[in-house]
Amino acid sequence: MPRPPLRRPPALIALSLAACLLATFAVAKAATSSAATSSAATSGAATSGAGRAFALSRVGHVWIIELENTSYPDSFGNPAADPYLARTLVSKGALLENYYGIGHDSLDNYIAEISGQAPDYQTGADCEYFSPFLQFGGETFDKWTRYRQLSGDGCVYPRYVPTIASQLSARQITWKAYFQDMGNDPRRDGTTATAHGPACGHPRLGGIDQTDVTGPAHDSYATRHNPFVYFKAVIGNQAYCDAHVVTLKPLRHDLAAATPSYSWITPNTCFDGHDTPLCQDGTKGGLVRVDEFLRAWVPRIMASPAYRKNGLILITFDESGNDQNAGACCGEKLSLGYNDPSHPNSNEPGLWGPGGGRVGAVALSPFIQPGTRSTVAYNHYSLLKTVERIFGLPLLGDAKQPQVRAFGPDVFTR
């Protein structure tokens, strides 16, 4: 039998209320004093949590540098392995400690970052065959899910599947994607010759991806690390593709003049950390080469007028270094693919689990207090959502999921 409620005399109630108000005031005052002291002691360095709102539209230029196959404990968690990335750059920007890949192997992560499309069987296996995506309705979905996932399987998405590239072009916002080594061997890479160098490297539709099955010493370009060529909306217009999907060589010039608003940068498979312990040319691979690439290019980007004015650099890894490390965040889960609106074409986007594992990321910007650390959960869809918020674009694919956050005041701390 429940106990009857205790009844206090009115005078006792008034005394209790007054005591509570005094205690609350004292705690609030102490907390304010403590916060001020802490802020002064840390010189403004921030950790995750609530803060003032940041208008993402203040950012006007974005650079994404995509690295390969490394788990958080092996990179950011082991600064001796990559001191420039894990110490120097982290000290200059914001470390996103709980940033996750969305699948295994590589290609599905890259595709997610520019389109919001989740893995299917072939993109999860890196598309050795450059096959067209075959759209079909599942038992629950006919064509699109409520998160605008396309039901089907394949590699090269139909022209009507949008990407961040098509969104930017529709708004006449400039963009360019730079790929180191692309076109060193034009036949292998499938490039065209242009005035600014090799461009738009990809296999013929239905053909074998030679960059996936060959590894010459002089050419470490990998098509599967170039997400833009997996969309007909890009490669279906040769002049458009040639103008936007280029080798790394024009980057130095573009940083000095006519810098695109959105830039994607993929090092070759030696400098992105993919090739380990040795690169295709026999030299040492792994994170030491990642540091070498970042030392060469990040200071150049940070010295550019576009970065100094309103830039954001995001450096991350596509997936963890072990396929069985398939952790996830932000709404990603195991399911029967056909009835899941976030990944209708795969039961396990991470092969062994729902995601691509914890990889971490570092963000650099004039709007970020050096030494910032965030423990908020983010993933590749969060990156896409952030870019779309920056440029005022509609959300694509799984960036629509309510659990997916854009980078907030835990990152933009200045």
* Distances 375 to 225, 361, 385, 410 between C-alpha atoms, Å: 28, 11, 18, 8
Domain assignment present for 410: no
Which of 21-35, 42-56, 147-161, 284-298 has the least mean pLDDT? 21-35
Domain count for the chain:
1
Domain assignment present for 329: yes
The Cα 162–Cα 205 span in angstroms is: 19
Rounded percentage of the chain residues whose pLDDT exceeds 90: 82
Mean per-residue pLDDT for 139-150?
83
3-state secondary structure of 88: helix
Mean per-residue pLDDT for 267-272?
98
Structural domain boundaries, residue 92: 56-400
Instruction: Please name every residue paired with 100 in a beta bridge, in sequence order, or none if there are none.
Output: 358, 379
pLDDT at 399: 98
Per residue in 7-38, pLDDT (tens digit) is: 333 333 332 333 333 333 333 333 333 333 33
Mean pLDDT of the chain: 89
The Cα 346–Cα 343 span in angstroms is: 6
Which of 41-50, 287-296, 359-368 has the least mean pLDDT? 41-50
Domain containing 349 — which CATH number? Answer: 3.40.720.10
The Cα 358–Cα 360 span in angstroms is: 6
Residue 139 has pLDDT above 50, yes or no: yes
Residue 187 has pLDDT above 60, yes or no: yes
Domain assignment present for 49: no
Domain assignment present for 208: yes
The Cα 311–Cα 302 span in angstroms is: 8
Closest to 289 in 3D by CA, of 90, 126, 68, 42: 68
Mean per-residue pLDDT for 371-394?
98
If pLDDT is split at 50, 70 and 90, which confidence band does 51 have? low
Domain assignment present for 351: yes
If pLDDT is split at 50, 70 and 90, which confidence band does 335 have? confident
Determine contact, residues 311/298, Cβ cutoff 8 Å. Answer: no
Domain assignment present for 405: no
pLDDT at 337: 79
Contact partners, residue 365, CB within 8 Å, separation at least 6: 59, 93, 311, 312, 313, 412
Q: What's the pTM?
A: 0.88
End-to-end CA, the chain: 58
Determine contact, residues 58/411, Cβ cutoff 8 Å. Answer: no
> In terms of DSSP bridges, do strands 311-317 and 361-364 run parallel, antiparallel, or are they unpaired?
antiparallel
Domain assignment present for 381: yes
* Distances 287 to 63, 83, 267, 373 between C-alpha atoms, Å: 20, 9, 13, 22
Domain assignment present for 394: yes
